[in-house]
Amino acid sequence: MDLGASAATTPPPATGPGAAGPPAIEVRGMHKSFGETRALRGVDFTAFSGEIHAIVGENGSGKSTMAKIISGIFGPDSGTARIFGEEIGNPIEASRAGVATVFQEVLVAETATVAENVFMGMRSEKGTRRSRSWKRERAGELMSDLVGHEIDPDEIVEDLPLAVRQWVTIARAIAREPRVVVFDESTAALDLDGAARLYAEMQRLRDGGACVLVVTHRIAELTSFADRATVLRDGKTVGVVEGAEITLDRLLEMMSGVAPSEDAVRAPAARAVERSAPVLTASAVQVQPAFAPSDLELYPGEIIGFAGLDGQGQSEFIQALTGVAPFASGSVQVHGDTEEPRSIHTLEDAIGARALYISGDRRREGIFTNLSIFENFAMPIYKDEQDFGIIRRRSIMNKFREQSERLSLRAGASTNLITSLSGGNQQKVIIGRVLAQNPRVVALNDPARGVDIRTKRELYQQLDTLAASGAGVVYLSTEIDELVGLCHRVAVFRDGALFTWLEGEQITSDRILGAMFGHLETDFQIEEIMESTHAAEN
């Protein structure tokens, strides 16, 4: 089977199911670059009215960029995007053409009311000018339907919980009675019930004749309800699958360009770990007072995976392990070979004990876009590398050379800006600066975001080498299949605490996914889970 080739040679159907006139969305030969980063490198796809069309791909495959082009946020460098045959130049034109988008980021006007947010930017078309009280009432109804309990339309959005704010953005899209709805990773801030309600809403929109475009990397959730799926990889369309063909394995295979079985590089889990003296222990850690306590023991040489639906506490937990975020109660300790165990409360504690954190959210938590490659490497190290207040530049430079060789960093001069590097190489700089500090524990928070496949594989190998030398590794991923074959154990989180452990043979995509939804037994189908969730909803 040749995935790339077969997909590229299958042209999308010229007309869709029962479509007359131009298709709802038609994207042809689309390219888009941001500086050095080439986000889209040739995307083609067509979506029709009356279907739920999924755009899937790994993080960094260009999905969000495409959603933004379709919404008129910015234009492509080359190629076209047409909505019912018309090109869109800005969000106002998109809105006029019937496009409504729910963005990944929860975009609300914080100091305005719910009603004002829901009807923001809605044009009063001829004769449909609505009064304030009508808008308030309608916003209240819509929100109450979506959230499941009453929401006061006069409430200031700033005072609402994040999940409700997310619903405000969804209500804003639905209030427009759109012909094309784009959901860009819109379940991020929602809990499971909320996600199920959103899926039901998508189906209602589809049945009403709208074209529903779902952009996501969480493919498990959509296998049960997407009508068609276009798969992107590294900014290119690699294929379209329909109906029953939309299965987890098939999508995973197309997204990564590698059949799961073929992935021989990734076998750190095969290395045995001797569980005698842990390098890190967490006892009765509550990330928030309302959540159940969790325990964890990490042994030298071990790689533990963290999984869970968004916002189930795994991210807070991994941050608690490395002093990045405070936790409500419990204790975290790092054990050295000889010295006393050290308790971790603050970032200083964690760095002193060499328990180090790597964020996948590079833009926000990782890189300094104003500084050079070398400065980005050196910044966390400076504090420990000074003589009488003067930093030891030469010594740091040696470390930089050592690490860039070890990680085969593909970069120009070290004085170039960090932004001149691709996402993968930026991540290497961040990992290099952590390795240069001789970590005892490394906690990675979804580090593969926006990183190409080769770099990912190199990363797995580096982590294996690191663990083999006696360090402990915690690896949080939002892409389940990343954990398979990499981790000795996987901790699945639910409701703010550790829900269950999976070990050895138990670590399969299906098992992890099932546990994320609260299932412990082994024989089940994803579709069943989704259906039972829907049933519970209705």
Positions in 472-511 near another protein (CB under 8 A): none
Kindly state whether residue 538 participates in binding another protein, applying the rule CB under 8 A. Answer: no
Q: How far apart are CA 208 and CA 412, in angstroms?
A: 53
Kindly state whether residue 342 participates in binding another protein, applying the rule CB under 8 A. Answer: no
Kindly state whether residue 125 participates in binding another protein, applying the rule CB under 8 A. Answer: no
Nearer to another protein by Cβ, of 194 and 235: the residue is 235
Kindly state whether residue 401 participates in binding another protein, applying the rule CB under 8 A. Answer: no
Nearer to another protein by Cβ, of 273 and 411: the residue is 411
Kindly state whether residue 386 participates in binding another protein, applying the rule CB under 8 A. Answer: yes
Kindly state whether residue 383 participates in binding another protein, applying the rule CB under 8 A. Answer: yes
In the list 44, 80, 122, 532, the residue contacting another protein (rule: CB under 8 A) is: 122
> Residue 478's closest CA among 217, 260, 235?
217
Q: How far is the CB of 306 from another protein (least distance, A)?
A: 19
> Which one of 17-25, 328-336, 379-387, 438-446 is the stretch in contact with another protein (CB under 8 A)?
379-387
> Residue 451's closest CA among 425, 431, 433, 473?
425
Q: How far apart are CA 83 and CA 48, in angstroms?
A: 10
Maximum CA pair distance of the chain?
79
Site string for another protein, 291-320 (x = CB under 8 A): ------------------------------
Nearer to another protein by Cβ, of 89 and 336: the residue is 89
How large is the angle between the packed helices 509-516 and 526-537, nearest 10 degrees?
A: 10
Interactions with another protein, residue window 16-35 (CB under 8 A): 34
What the block records as the tokens of 110 is 């914080």
Kindly state whether residue 3 participates in binding another protein, applying the rule CB under 8 A. Answer: yes
Kindly state whether residue 402 participates in binding another protein, applying the rule CB under 8 A. Answer: no
Nearer to another protein by Cβ, of 184 and 302: the residue is 184
Kindly state whether residue 325 participates in binding another protein, applying the rule CB under 8 A. Answer: no
Nearer to another protein by Cβ, of 52 and 100: the residue is 100
Run of H or E including 116: helix 114-118
Q: Give 428-487 as a 3 state SS string.
A: HHHHHHHHCCCCCEEEEECCCCCCCHHHHHHHHHHHHHHHHCCCEEEEECCCHHHHCCCC
Kindly state whether residue 461 participates in binding another protein, applying the rule CB under 8 A. Answer: no
Evaluate whether 180 touches 25 at the Cβ level (below 8 Å).
yes
Nearer to another protein by Cβ, of 44 and 155: the residue is 155
Q: At residue 201, what is the residue type?
A: E
Total number of residues shown for the chain: 538
Q: Are strands 25-34 and 329-334 parallel, antiparallel or unpaired?
A: unpaired
* 83 alpha-carbon distance from chain centroid: 27
Q: How far is the CB of 44 from another protein (least distance, A)?
A: 18
What the block records as the tokens of 24 is 């709802």
Interactions with another protein, residue window 239-258 (CB under 8 A): 257-258
Kindly state whether residue 260 participates in binding another protein, applying the rule CB under 8 A. Answer: no
Kindly state whether residue 89 participates in binding another protein, applying the rule CB under 8 A. Answer: no
Q: How far is the CB of 243 from another protein (least distance, A)?
A: 25
> Which one of 12-20, 213-221, 277-285, 449-457 is the stretch in contact with another protein (CB under 8 A)?
449-457
Query: If phi over 0 gives left and psi between -120 and 50 gives alpha, with beta otherwise, what is residue 495?
Result: left
Kindly state whether residue 338 participates in binding another protein, applying the rule CB under 8 A. Answer: no
Site string for another protein, 135-154 (x = CB under 8 A): --------------xxxx-x
How many CB atoms neighbour CB 95 within 10 A? 19
Nearest 5°: the CA angle 234, 237, 238 is 90
Interactions with another protein, residue window 210-229 (CB under 8 A): none
Q: How far apart are CA 371 and CA 384, in angstroms?
A: 20
What the block records as the tokens of 437 is 């500090």
Rounded alpha-carbon distances, angstroms, from residue 473 to 98, 103, 302: 48, 33, 6
Kindly state whether residue 354 participates in binding another protein, applying the rule CB under 8 A. Answer: no
Residue 280, SS3 per DSSP: strand
Q: How far apart are CA 490 and CA 305, in angstroms?
A: 4
Q: How far is the CB of 232 from another protein (least distance, A)?
A: 14
Kindly state whether residue 207 participates in binding another protein, applying the rule CB under 8 A. Answer: no
Kindly state whether residue 38 participates in binding another protein, applying the rule CB under 8 A. Answer: yes
* DSSP conformation class of 292: P
Kindly state whether residue 86 participates in binding another protein, applying the rule CB under 8 A. Answer: no
In the list 45, 103, 306, 317, the residue contacting another protein (rule: CB under 8 A) is: 103
Total residues binding another protein (CB under 8 A): 87
In the list 166, 223, 425, 508, the residue contacting another protein (rule: CB under 8 A) is: 425
Q: How far apart are CA 245 and CA 251, in angstroms?
A: 9
Nearer to another protein by Cβ, of 92 and 277: the residue is 92
